[in-house]
Copies of this chain bind each other. A is one copy, B any other.
Amino acid sequence: MDIYMQSAIEEAKKGLAEGGIPIGSLLVHKGIILERGHNRRVQKGSSILHGEMDALENAGRQSAQVYRESVLYTTLSPCSMCSGAILLYGIPRVVIGENSTFMGDEELLRSRGVHVDVLQDQECVAMMRAYIKEKPALWNEDIGV
């Protein structure tokens, strides 16, 4: 098991325990976890704090150089907003837990030269599948449906 994805899953579980949507993310620079984040729609009444955005926000203001040497880990395929943030900062690689419950804008990322790996991790799949079944309205809100 990828140790970074394991940490991202822990972040997702932290979000779930807070009553939130279970999606976690990490920004990793040269093997070091710079910051962690998880979806905070429910916790903060936020429309922009997806897991990936929360990790970027928690990491604060970094130089372009740092982003360009970093990898973003996320338990779920990144939506258009999070994909756009990855492009803005020129993050060259994204590792995705799964894209079977939701397919984000991976094609856009790839078309702009981002290296995208999808682990199709069964723990990530099971976590999202259970959440979507339990709270479909909240999930739809999170993806603008």
Give me the interface of A with B, judged by CB distance under 8 Å: 41, 45-48, 53, 56-57, 59-64, 67, 79-85, 87-90, 105, 108, 140-141, 143-145
Contacts and interface: CB of A to CB of B under 8 A. Distances in A.
A143 B63 CA distance: 11
When all copies of this chain in the complex are counted, the total is 2
Contact residues of A: prevailing secondary structure = helix
Contact of A64 (B67, B79, B88, B141): B141
A54 B138 CA distance: 22
A83 B84 contact: yes
A62 B83 contact: no
A79 B84 CA distance: 8
Contact of A90 (B45, B83, B90, B144): B144
Nearest to A58: B47
Given A80-B85, A88-B79, A144-B88, A56 B61 contact: no
A87 B144 CA distance: 9
Contacts of A48: 48, 53, 56-57, 85
Contacts of A60: 45-47
Contacts of A87: 80-81, 84, 105
Contacts of A53: 48
Given A62-B47, A81-B81, A108-B108, A88 B143 contact: yes
